[in-house]
C-alpha cells in the first residue's frame, strides 16, 4: 500500500516534471529501480554513483517489488522508471507482452557477456547460484557434492534442507537421476521427463527435514546445524563460512539464475537508460559489485580488471572456472505453468 | 436503565409516559454515541469482507465465474489443506482443554495471592508477540535445541527427537499460544462458581468426586465452552506458527491463501479460500451454539 502511494506520487511527479521541464533537463537524468535494502546500497556505491559521474547525468533511484510495478506503470501510461532490475521470468514475460523497449546494442557493449544472457529486449545483470552446501562436521569432511549424492541417504545420512518452492527442484531431481546438465530442460519438455522428475523428487521429499522459504532462513538452518546438507544461495553460504562455521560447497550442479535489466516501454529517458545499462554492465562496475557482495558479475571481463583478487575470484559463481559447472535456469520452462507446478509441488511436500 | 426501571415502579401512572419518552431519548443518545464504533466496524470489517467475497467470483480474466470455488473442491492439494487445518485445530483445542481445565481448577483452590502470581505466568506469554514465542520454540525444539541436547546429556535419549519442522512442532507452538484464550474465560467462570454448593453436596452425602462432576463441572461449562470456541476459531486461521515450526511441510489454510496470492497473483483464487474459511468459522460457531447453547452465556 505504501509502495503504491509512493508509486503514484512518483508517477505524478515525473509526469509533472515532464510537462513543465525543458527537454534539456530530461536529458540530464535517468531513473533506476532495484530491490532496495543493503543490496541497493551496494549497487549505489559500486555502480550507480560512478555511472552518474561518468555519464554526467543524475541517477535517481526507486525500489521495485516485481513485475506488477512495471505493468502498473505501463497500464497507467505513466512510466516513471528508465531502467529496472527484474528476475529472469519477469523479464521474459514482459518481453512477450510487448512491454519493453528493445535494448540498443549500438550503445550497450556486450563484450564479455555470455551469449545466452543477451536478449533483444533485456540483458543479464547479476547471477545468483544455489549450491549444495554441507557441514563438514556432519560428514567427516566429505559430504554430498553432487545431486546423486544429495539423494543418497544410505552413504550420506543426515538432515536435508531444500528450497520450499518448485523452482530449481525438478532440475535437481533430474540431475540426481543421471540426466546430464545440458539435457535437463529438454527432458523436462516431455511428459515422460516431467513424470520422471516428479518421481525422483518424490523419493527425497519424505526425507527432507526443512523446505525453507527465505534466504535468511536457509543460512540460519545451516548455521544452527539443523540441517547437514542444503541447497541454498551461494552468497549466503559464504556469509555462514565467514561467521566461522565449517561448511563446504562446490559449484557442480548448482542452479544459476539471473536478474536482468530492462527498459519499460514509454520510459522518459530511453537514450540515457541505454547509456546507464552500458555502465552497469561494464567490467569495472561489475567487478566493484562482486567485491562488495559475492554475487556473480555477468561480464567475465570483470575478472581481468584486477579489482577482484585471484583467490576471491575463485569463489565467484560466474568465474570462468565455475560458470560451466552450473545449470543456467530456463525461465521459459516456468512461464505459463508456474501455478500448476506449484500446486503439484505443494501436494508433494505437504505432510 | 435499571435505575429508570426502579424509579418507574415507584412512580404514578401519570409519570410513566414521561419516563417512557425519556427512556427512548436515552436509548437514542446511546445509539448516537455508539455510531462512530458502528461506522468504523462497517467500514473496516464489513466493506472489506463484501469486497473480498465479490472478488472470489471473478476468474483471472476478470469474468464472472465459479472457477475459484471449483478449484478448491476439485484439487487434492486444497482438500488435504482442509484436512490438515482441521486436524491441527482439533488437536490444539483438545490439548488446550486437557491442560487448561486442571490448571484453572487448581488456581481456584490456591490462596488468592498465589493465584494472582500464577496468573502472571499465564498472562506474560499472552502479551508477548506470537512471532517471538514461535522463534523461542524453534530454539527449544530443534535438533540441537535446548530440549534435545539436555535429554541427550542426561542419557534419556540417544538420537535427537524430531520435535520441530513437522506437525508435532506446529501443535506444540500453537497450544502454547492458544492456552491463555482457554484459561482466561474458564478461570473467570470457575471463580464465579459458589463453592458452598459443592460443600452442600458433600454434606448431603455425595462423594467429593461426585460433587465435582455433578455440581462444580456443569457450572464451569459456560466458561469452558467460551474458551473452546475462541481456541477453535483462532486456530483455524493460524499462519506464523505452522509456517515456522512446520518445516514447510505443514500447510494450513492461511498459508495456502498466501501462496495462492504470490504464485497466481490472483486475488480471486485467494478470496475464495478466505470466504470458505470465513464460512467454516461461522458454521463452527453455529454448530457449537446448537450443541453448547452459547447464547445462554451472554444472557444472565
Residues of A in contact with B81 (CB under 8 A): 350
Residues B106 and B240 both lie in one domain: yes
C-beta atoms of B77 and A343 within 8 A: yes
Residue A119 in grid coordinates: 536478449
Q: Is A81 left (phi over 0), alpha (psi -120 to 50) or beta?
A: beta
Residues B51 and B85 both lie in one domain: no
Residues of A in contact with B251 (CB under 8 A): 346, 350
Mutate to test the interface with A, among B61, B72, B249 (most CBs of A within 10 A): B249
Q: Of the candidates B144, B248, B264, which has its C-beta nearest A211's C-beta? A: B248
Residues contacting residue A149 through CB under 8 Å, at least 6 positions apart: A143, A155, A156
Distance (Å, rounded) from C-alpha A62 to C-alpha A82? 11
- Domain, as residue range, for A14: 2-127+258-323
Residues of A in contact with B243 (CB under 8 A): 213
C-beta atoms of B263 and A339 within 8 A: yes
Asked if residue B246 is part of any domain, the answer here is: yes
Q: Are A126 and A258 in contact (CB under 8 A)?
A: yes
Q: Of the candidates A159, A209, A346, which has its C-beta nearest B251's C-beta? A: A346
Chain A residue with Cα closest to B262: A339
Distance (Å, rounded) from C-alpha B51 to C-alpha A59? 41
Three-class SS state of A124: strand
pLDDT, position B7: 59
How far apart are the CA of A159 and the nearest CA of chain B, in angstroms?
Answer: 10
Residues B192 and B270 both lie in one domain: yes
Question: How many CB contacts within 8 angstroms connect chain A with chain B?
Answer: 53
Q: Of the candidates B143, B167, B256, which has its C-beta nearest A351's C-beta? A: B167
Residues B280 and B234 both lie in one domain: yes
For residue A297, what are the β-bridge partners?
Answer: A126
pTM score = 0.81
Asked if residue B166 is part of any domain, the answer here is: yes
Count of structural domains within chain B: 2
Residues B12 and B136 both lie in one domain: no
C-beta atoms of B248 and A209 within 8 A: no
Residues A8 and A132 both lie in one domain: no
Q: Are A274 and A82 in contact (CB under 8 A)?
A: no
How far apart are the CA of B273 and the nearest CA of chain A, in angstroms?
Answer: 15
Transcribe B145-208 into DSSP letters.
Answer: SHHHHHHHHTTS-SS----SSSHHHHHHHHHHHHHHHHHHHHHHHHHHS-HHHHHHHHHTT--H
Residues A123 and A41 both lie in one domain: yes
C-beta atoms of A342 and B259 within 8 A: yes
Strands (E), chain A: 29-34, 58-63, 83-87, 122-135, 160-163, 208-212, 229-233, 247-262, 296-297, 327-328
Residues A17 and A96 both lie in one domain: yes
243-302 of A, contacting B, C-beta below 8 A: none
Count of structural domains within chain A: 2
| Final residue belonging to a domain, choices B55, B78, B98 | B55
C-beta atoms of B265 and A164 within 8 A: no
CA angle A63, B267, B55 (to 5 degrees): 135
Q: Closest Cα to residue A231, out of A170, A272, A278, A313?
A: A170
Distance (Å, rounded) from C-alpha A62 to C-alpha A34? 7
- ipTM surpassing 0.90, yes or no? no
Asked if A28 reaches chain B (Cβ–Cβ under 8 Å), the answer is no
The pairs formed by A176-184 with CB atoms below 8 angstroms and a separation of 24 or more are A176/A147, A176/A148, A176/A150, A176/A151, A176/A200, A176/A204, A178/A148, A181/A253, A181/A327, A184/A327
Question: Residue A205 sits in a domain of what CATH number?
Answer: 3.40.190.10
Q: Are A109 and A90 in contact (CB under 8 A)?
A: no
How far apart are the CA of B100 and the nearest CA of chain A, in angstroms?
Answer: 28
Chain A residue with Cα closest to B148: A226
Asked if A198 reaches chain B (Cβ–Cβ under 8 Å), the answer is no
Residues of B in contact with A225 (CB under 8 A): 143-144
Q: Of the candidates A68, A210, A343, which has its C-beta nearest B165's C-beta? A: A210
Residues B41 and B90 both lie in one domain: no
Distance (Å, rounded) from C-alpha B162 to C-alpha B142? 7
C-beta atoms of A339 and B264 within 8 A: yes
Integer angstrom CA distances of residue B212 from A287, B107, B199, B224: 77, 15, 10, 15
- Domain, as residue range, for B44: 1-55
Q: Are A348 and A205 in contact (CB under 8 A)?
A: yes
Backbone angles phi, psi at B6, to 5 degrees: -60, -50
Residues A247 and A277 both lie in one domain: no
Residues A296 and A344 both lie in one domain: no
Question: Residue B281 sits in a domain of what CATH number?
Answer: 1.10.3720.10
Residues contacting residue A271 through CB under 8 Å, at least 6 positions apart: A27, A104, A107
Residues A147 and A224 both lie in one domain: yes
Q: Kindly give the parts of chain B with pLDDT less than 50.
A: 299-300
Residues B186 and B96 both lie in one domain: yes
Q: Kindly give the parts of chain A with pLDDT less than 50.
A: 1-26
Distance (Å, rounded) from C-alpha B162 to C-alpha B167? 10
Chain A residue with Cα closest to B248: A211
Chain B residue with Cα closest to A167: B263
Residues B236 and B121 both lie in one domain: yes
Residues B36 and B83 both lie in one domain: no
Asked if A183 reaches chain B (Cβ–Cβ under 8 Å), the answer is no
Amino acid at each position: 500500500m505504501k509502495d503504491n502511494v509512493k508509486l503514484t506520487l512518483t508517477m505524478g511527479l515525473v509526469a509533472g516534471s515532464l510537462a513543465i521541464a525543458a527537454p534539456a533537463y530530461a536529458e540530464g537524468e535517468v531513473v533506476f529501480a532495484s530491490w532496495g535494502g543493503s543490496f541497493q546500497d551496494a549497487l549505489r556505491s559500486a555502480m550507480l554513483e560512478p555511472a552518474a559521474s561518468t555519464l554526467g547525468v543524475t541517477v535517481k533511484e526507486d525500489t521495485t517489488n516485481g513485475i506488477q510495478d512495471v505493468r502498473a506503470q505501463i497500464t497507467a501510461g505513466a512510466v516513471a522508471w528508465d531502467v529496472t532490475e527484474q528476475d529472469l521470468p519477469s523479464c521474459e514475460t514482459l518481453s512477450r507482452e510487448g512491454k519493453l523497449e528493445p535494448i540498443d546494442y549500438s550503445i550497450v557493449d556486450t563484450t564479455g557477456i555470455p551469449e545466452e544472457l543477451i536478449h533483444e529486449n533485456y540483458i543479464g545483470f547479476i547471477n545468483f547460484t544455489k549450491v549444495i552446501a554441507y557441514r563438514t562436521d556432519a560428514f567427516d569432511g566429505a559430504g554430498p557434492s553432487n545431486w546423486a549424492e544429495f539423494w543418497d541417504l544410505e552413504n550420506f545420512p543426515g538432515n536435508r534442507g531444500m528450497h520450499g518452492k518448485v523452482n530449481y527442484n525438478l532440475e535437481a531431481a533430474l540431475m540426481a537421476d543421471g540426466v546430464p546438465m545440458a539435457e535437463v530442460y529438454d527432458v523436462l519438455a516431455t511428459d515422460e521427463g516431467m513424470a520422471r522428475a516428479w518421481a525422483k523428487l518424490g523419493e527425497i521429499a519424505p526425507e527432507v527435514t526443512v523446505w525453507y522459504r527465505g534466504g535468511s532462513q536457509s543460512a540460519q538452518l545451516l548455521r544452527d546445524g539443523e540441517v547437514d546438507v542444503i541447497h541454498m544461495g551461494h552468497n549466503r553460504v559464504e556469509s555462514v563460512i565467514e561467521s566461522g562455521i565449517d561448511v563446504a560447497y562446490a559449484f557442480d550442479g548448482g542452479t544459476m539464475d539471473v536478474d536482468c535489466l530492462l527498459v519499460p516501454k514509454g520510459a522518459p529517458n530511453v537514450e540515457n537508460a541505454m547509456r546507464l545499462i552500458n555502465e552497469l554492465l561494464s567490467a569495472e562496475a561489475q567487478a566493484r559489485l562482486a567485491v562488495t557482495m559475492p554475487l556473480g558479475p555477468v561480464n567475465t571481463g570483470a575478472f581481468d580488471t584486477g579489482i577482484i583478487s585471484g583467490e576471491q575470484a575463485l569463489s565467484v559463481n560466474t568465474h570462468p572456472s565455475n560458470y560451466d559447472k552450473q545449470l543456467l535456469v530456463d525461465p521459459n520452462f516456468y512461464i505459463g505453468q508456474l501455478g500448476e507446478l506449484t500446486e503439484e509441488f505443494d501436494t508433494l511436500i505437504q505432510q | 436503565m435499571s435505575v429508570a426501571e426502579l424509579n418507574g415502579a415507584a412512580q404514578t401512572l401519570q409519570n410513566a409516559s414521561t419516563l417512557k419518552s425519556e427512556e427512548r431519548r436515552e436509548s437514542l443518545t446511546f445509539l448516537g454515541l455508539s455510531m462512530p464504533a458502528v461506522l468504523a466496524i462497517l467500514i473496516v470489517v464489513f466493506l472489506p469482507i463484501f469486497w473480498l467475497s465479490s472478488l472470489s467470483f471473478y476468474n483471472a480474466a476478470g469474468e464472472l465465474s465459479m472457477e475459484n470455488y471449483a478449484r478448491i473442491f476439485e484439487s487434492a492439494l486444497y482438500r488435504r489443506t482442509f484436512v490438515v487445518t482441521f486436524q491441527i485445530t482439533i488437536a490444539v483445542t483438545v490439548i488446550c482443554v486437557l491442560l487448561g481445565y486442571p490448571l484453572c481448577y487448581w488456581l481456584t483452590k490456591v490462596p488468592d495471592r498465589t493465584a494472582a502470581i500464577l496468573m502472571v505466568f499465564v498472562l506474560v506469554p499472552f502479551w508477548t508477540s506470537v512471532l517471538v514465542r514461535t522463534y523461542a520454540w524453534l530454539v527449544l525444539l530443534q535438533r540441537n535445541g535446548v530440549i534435545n541436547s539436555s535429554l541427550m546429556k542426561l542419557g534419556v535419549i540417544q538420537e535427537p527427537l524430531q520435535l520441530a519442522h513437522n506437525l508435532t512442532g506446529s501443535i506444540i507452538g500453537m497450544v502454547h499460544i492458544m492456552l491463555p484464550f482457554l484459561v482466561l474465560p474458564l478461570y473467570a467462570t470457575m471463580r464465579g462458581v459458589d463453592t458452598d454448593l459443592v460443600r452442600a453436596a458433600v454434606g448431603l452425602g455425595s462423594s467429593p468426586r461426585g460433587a465435582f462432576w455433578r455440581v462444580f463441572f456443569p457450572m464451569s461449562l459456560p466458561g469452558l465452552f467460551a474458551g473452546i470456541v475462541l481456541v477453535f476459531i483462532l486456530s483455524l486461521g493460524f499462519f506464523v506458527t505452522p509456517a515456522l515450526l512446520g518445516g514447510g511441510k505443514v500447510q494450513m489454510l492461511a498459508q495456502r491463501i498466501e501462496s495462492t496470492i504470490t504464485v497466481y497473483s490472483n486475488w480471486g483464487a485467494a478470496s475464495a479460500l478466505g470466504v470458505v474459511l470465513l464460512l467454516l468459522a461461522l458454521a463452527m460457531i453455529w454448530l457449537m451454539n446448537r450443541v453448547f447453547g452459547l447464547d445462554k452465556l451472554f444472557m444472565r
